[in-house]
Structure 1
Amino acid sequence: MPHPGWDTFAFDGIGTAWEISTPDPIAPAVRARLLQAVADYDLSYSRFRPDSRIAELARAAVTVTLPEHAEQLEAVFRTLYRLSGGSMTPLVGGSLEQLGYGPDYALVPRGPARPAPRWENVLRWDGTTVGCTEPVVLDVGAAGKGQLVDLLAEILRADGVTQYLVDGSGDMLHAGPAPVRVGLEHPYDPAQAIGVVELGNRALCASASNRRAWGDGLHHVLDAATGRPVDTVVATWTTAACTLEADALATALFLVEPGLLEEEFEFDWLRVFSDGRAHCSQGFEGVLFT
C-alpha cells in the first residue's frame, strides 16, 4: 500500500508486487540498486528457478555459498526450528512440492503429505555456507521476503532517505514521523478488513492460509513435522523492529505458542483461529472491528 501523499516506486520481484513510498521520488541510480538487490535475492534463494543457488541443493548432495545475509536467515530459522520442535524449518520445500506447490505450479498433490527431513540429519548451514548430505528442497519463504524488505530499506538509508514505506505485498517496514494506517485483511474475504494498525517506525508482517491455497484444505502453511497444512490458526500479524523477524514470526505463530516465542523475540502479535476467535499480545497496536 502506498503512503498517502508520497511518491511510489512500484515493481514486481520474487514473484510478488512491491511498492516503495518516499516523500520525494527515488533517484534513478537508487532505483537500479533496489531492482538489482531484488534480482540478486531471487537468484540466491528461489526454489522456483533452476539457476538459483539453492536449486543446486535439490539436485545433489553439494555445498553452496550464499550472500552474507544468509547468516541472519540461518540464525532465525535455527531458533524457530528449535522452538517449534522441528515444525518450522527451511527444509519444508519438499513437503510443499509433495502437495503440488512446486516450480511447475501444478497444484496437484503427488501423493500423501510427507514430513520434511530433520535439519540435523541432512542440512549443514554455517553462515554463508550451506550443504546437504542428500538432495533437499530449501524454502526460505517464511522469512525471505521480510529480509528483502530490510535489505531494500538499507539501500534507501545509504542514500540518505530517512522516511519510507517499503511494502512487499503486505510485509512492510515504515520510517518517518507520521504513522501510516494499515488495514488487516479478513482471512476469508480479501476485500474486507477485520481491523487496522497504526504503523510507525516498525515492521508489520502477515501470514494467512488463504493467500496461497489450492485443492481441498491445501495451503502453503505446513507443519513440517507432519507435512500437512495447519488448520487451527488461519491468519497472523506481527510487528517488530526487524522485518525479517516479523515475517518469520508470522509463520511461527501458526505452529508455536506466542509465549514461547516471546521468550526469545521482542515482537507483538495477533492470531485469528478457524473458529473465529482472535487473540493478541498486550502491546499489539491494532484495533479490531466488532
Structure 2
Amino acid sequence: MDIEQLRTVTLVAQQGSFAAAARALSVDPSSVSRSVAAVEAELGLRLFQRSTRSLSVTEEGEIYLARLVPLLEELDRAHEDARAVSRQPAGTVRLTTSVAFAQTCVVPHLAEFASRYPDISLEILPSDANLDLAAHSIDLAIRLTPEPAGDLIRSKLIDTRYRVVASPQYLARSGALAVPTDLQAHSCLRFALPEFRTRWRFRRDGEEPVEVPVFGKVIIANALSLRLAALNGLGPALLADWLVKDDLDAGRLVDVFPDHDCSATEFETAAWVLYPSRSYLPRKVRVTIDFLKQALT
C-alpha cells in the first residue's frame, strides 16, 4: 500500500475535508479523492462518509486511523533517526504567535537560528487570533496566557509580567502616579480585550490585591500600537515586560508602580510553546523549541 496515500488519508481526517487536505498538500482535490478511494478499495471498506456538505469518519475508519497514525509517526521517527546520524535537521517549521511577540521576541533571533540550522525554513505566521494548528498545518504556536487550555502539548518558554508604563513627558505634564487608584483620574491606554479594558489588578507584598477601574478614550487591539501610543505620551498603559524592557532601560518609558505586581488577569502568566498532542515530534520541531527556550531565557 502506498505510504503517501496513507498520509493523505490521515490528513483528510485531520483537516475534515478533501478540499482542506488538498490545500495543505498544494494539490488538486481530485488527487486527494483518488488517494482515499485507492486506500478504501484495497481495504475493502469505507473510511469516510461523504455528503455534498460534510465529511465524517466511519466507525471502521476510526478503528483504522487509530492504528495507522502511530505507525506512520513511528515510520517518520525511524527515517529521521537514521538521517540524523549524518545530517542537520531539515524541512519547514510553521510557527504562529502574536504580532507583538513575533516582532519583539522571535524575529530578532532569526539570523542566529538560520546560522545554526541552515536547512530549516522557518515560516512565521504572526496573528493576534489563535489560529487552529491542524486547520493551518502549523507545527508550533506560542500563546501568552496564564495556562493554555485544550489538548495540545505545552512547554513554558518564559514567565511574563505586566507593568503599567508611561512616558516621562506624560508624567511631567500630568503629574506622577503615587498609588494605583490614582489611575482613575487619568486617561489610560487600554488594550481591546474584555479583561484589559475595564479594570487593572495590583498586588504588593503583605497586602491584598486590589482592582482599579480604568478609563480612557484610546482603545487599541494591537500591543505594538499600544506601546507606541504610550511612547508618544498619550497616557499610561498596561504592557508585557518583554515588550517594554528596552524602553524602560533606555528611559523612554517609566515603570509607574515598580513595587507592585500588575495584571489584567492572573499575576502569574507566561509565554507557552504549544504543539499537537502526538507521540512523534519531528527533529526540526524539537530543535526549534530548544532554540526558542535558549534564546528567550
- Tell me if TM exceeds 0.5: no
TM-score range, shorter chain: under 0.3
**TM superposition score normalised by structure 1:** 0.23
Name the one with the larger helix percent: 2
Name the one with the larger strand percent: 1
**TM superposition score normalised by structure 2:** 0.22
